[in-house]
Amino acid sequence: MYDFATRTWQKGVYKGESPILPRYLAGLGVIDEETVLIFGGHGNKEGNQEFSPHNYYDLFTYNVQTSETKKLWELDATQHNFVAANSLVVDTLQRCFYALCFPNQKFNAVLQLYRFSMDEPVYDILADSIPYPFNDNHSFADLYLTNDKRQLVAVTSYTDEKAAEAEIAIYTLSFPPMKSSELLQKHAKGNSLMWYIFLILAVLLLVYYGWNRRRKQLETRKNNVGQPVTATGVELMDMQDPVTGIRTIQEEITQPSICLFGGFQVIGKESRNVTGEFSPILKQLFLLILLYTLKDGKGISSFKLREILWYDKSEESAKNNRGVSLSKLRLIFEKIGEISISSQTSYWSVHFGNDIYCDYYEALVLMDRLAKVPDVRDIRRLAFITSAGELLPNLQADWVDTFKSDFSNKLIDLLLHLIAADTEQVLDTSLKINISDAIFAHDSLNEDALKLKCKLLVETGKNGLAQKIYASFVKEYQALFGAEFKYTFEQVIS
């Protein structure tokens, strides 16, 4: 408790049977002059964020005069994945409160307005979502109720340290908000029969469309077998790296998995998302060892680890920090699957069991195979995987930039080469569009991808969509380079 008169802190003591465990990213709202609501958050019992933190979904009241806490209810933690913005808006008349909630394991997250009951663990999701780039203390979100109680106001900000700039956004919504189902006009009873008939016909049409599309895909795959472009004779399911033990998977990502495209994400046993258990230092340590292992099979030296992660520490202190961090990683690995980190001749490398999937490794395998023998199935799979986004876009560190640029350059060069080499038109239009999307995911201002995609869209009659893509490209080009794009739309599609 902070005393403004003496400018001193005093340690308070909770009263009651329900202590509030250490956390941050919790929401707080005022009930009256003495009582506040505290909902959710992210932390753990010890108050140390490095030891397996997790999200809380409990609701407490706290009396600021007596320091008494009371637990009202708790949501099932296994069924949810969100935390709350700073402030809650409490409606004592309706016995509910409003919170802006978002998934804290994602950078490109969205805020959504939740309405919770104060009496039982139930809620409704209201209104539309709000884009929210979340990067811990670089991001801020809050919810307010105007003095006239007519509007909710949401404020978000994101600070870019490198650019030394912050982007602030303000959103308003009429209060009290309503669910979309409450806003829809009900159909007259006389039209019910026609509505049901229409619905049944629509469902049948969708079923037929899905069946027909699947049939054509199977026929295309069957026809491609034996063609010069597809003759590899090796199924991707059979590929396993002799160094790391990672097995690539052709059709679907199965658990457990480590995904690096579009953002760092780790799925453990029983499909549990354990990404949040990697603190910034643990994430960098794991990724350093992983990427250097996949680079040449040798791994990364102890000297280089110290140089990157503990450059300000003595050799002995850096060694101790490394040992503690590796111990924490091994505890996380127990929740994922068969993963181990070992050291040989002062080089650290990571090894996986057969059940671990990694999208980045699969992409490396596919690129190596396609550089030797083109295969339609491999091309389609590579485009699908890499379209998820750039390699580790949310990790801002000098050491990872080389990995990002090297991979993007090799990927783009390979995909453009495959397009140029397709003289017999083995690659269909949809696959070529997927390839252009993959290129855009790693270079949003790639002119070759722009020309390819716009031409294909025009050829298939999607002129308006092609114009929108061109306009978006030109706008981003102008913002980045401060100059107009040199080609007109007509020149791009010619």
Distances from the Cα of 17 to the Cα of 43, 60, 72, 257, 452, angstroms: 20, 11, 12, 40, 65
DSSP states along 217-275 = HHHHHHHHTTSTTT-----GGG-B-TTT--B--SS---SSEEE-BTS-EEE-GGG-B-G
Residue 120 DSSP one-character state: S
Q: CB of 390 within 8 A of CB of 443?
A: no
Q: CB of 115 within 8 A of CB of 100?
A: no
CA dihedral over 346, 347, 353, 355, signed as positive or negative: positive
Tally of CA atoms within 13 A in the half-sphere of 35 that contains its CB: 12
Interior angle at CA 90, CA 86 and CA 94, nearest 5: 150
Strand partners, 152: 145, 173
The pair phi, psi for residue 225, each rounded to 5°, is -65, 130
Please give the Cα distance from 365 to 368 (Å, whole number). 5
Please give the Cα distance from 292 to 299 (Å, whole number). 5
Give Cα 80 to chain centroid, integer Å.
16
Which amino acid type is present at position 205? L
Q: CB of 237 within 8 A of CB of 250?
A: yes
Q: Which tokens go with 204?
A: 């049948």
The size of the chain, in residues, is 494
Least Cα distance to 70 among 16, 135, 11, 132 occurs for 16
Strand partners, 357: 257
Q: Tell me what pLDDT residue 235 has.
A: 36
Q: Tell me what pLDDT residue 236 has.
A: 41
Q: Which tokens go with 76?
A: 């099932």
Q: What is the pLDDT of residues 50-77, one digit of tens each?
A: 566 788 999 999 998 888 899 999 998 8
Q: CB of 435 within 8 A of CB of 457?
A: no
Please give the Cα distance from 160 to 67 (Å, whole number). 38
Q: CB of 74 within 8 A of CB of 95?
A: no
Q: Tell me what pLDDT residue 217 has.
A: 47
The pair phi, psi for residue 267, each rounded to 5°, is -110, 125
Please give the Cα distance from 126 to 98 (Å, whole number). 10
- pTM value > 0.75: no
Q: Tell me what pLDDT residue 93 has.
A: 86
Strand partners, 341: 350
Please give the Cα distance from 437 to 366 (Å, whole number). 17
Residue 276 DSSP one-character state: G
Strand partners, 28: 38, 87
What is the bridge-based pairing of β-strands 69-74 and 35-43?
Answer: unpaired
Residue 345 DSSP one-character state: T
Residue 489 DSSP one-character state: H
Q: Which residues contact 240 (CB under 8 A, 6 or more apart)?
A: 246, 247, 248, 354
Q: Tell me what pLDDT residue 191 has.
A: 55
Q: Tell me what pLDDT residue 212 has.
A: 62
Using a pLDDT cut of 70, give the percent of the chain over it: 84
Q: Tell me what pLDDT residue 359 has.
A: 92
Tally of CA atoms within 13 A in the half-sphere of 342 that contains its CB: 10
Q: CB of 372 within 8 A of CB of 281?
A: no
Annotate 440-474 with b (16+ C-beta within 10 A) or e (fewer).
bbbbeebeebbbbbbbbbbeeeeeeebeebbeebb
pLDDT tens string for the chain (494 positions)? 888 999 999 887 778 777 888 898 899 999 998 999 999 998 888 777 656 678 899 999 999 888 889 999 999 887 788 999 999 999 988 899 999 998 877 777 788 999 999 999 999 888 778 888 877 778 889 999 998 888 999 999 888 777 778 889 999 998 888 775 555 555 544 555 666 677 777 777 766 665 565 555 445 434 433 333 222 223 344 344 444 344 443 344 556 899 999 999 999 988 889 999 999 999 999 999 999 999 988 899 999 999 999 988 888 999 999 999 999 999 999 999 999 999 888 899 999 887 889 999 999 999 999 999 999 999 999 999 999 999 999 888 889 999 999 999 999 999 999 999 988 888 999 999 999 999 999 999 999 999 999 999 999 999 999 999 999 999 999 988 889 999 999 999 98
Distances from the Cα of 452 to the Cα of 311, 408, 463, angstroms: 46, 18, 14
Please give the Cα distance from 121 to 116 (Å, whole number). 7
Helix, strand, coil percentages for the chain (3-state, nearest 5) = 40, 25, 35
Q: What is the pLDDT of residues 193-225, one digit of tens each?
A: 666 677 777 777 766 665 565 555 445 434 433
Residue 68 DSSP one-character state: B
Please give the Cα distance from 62 to 493 (Å, whole number). 64
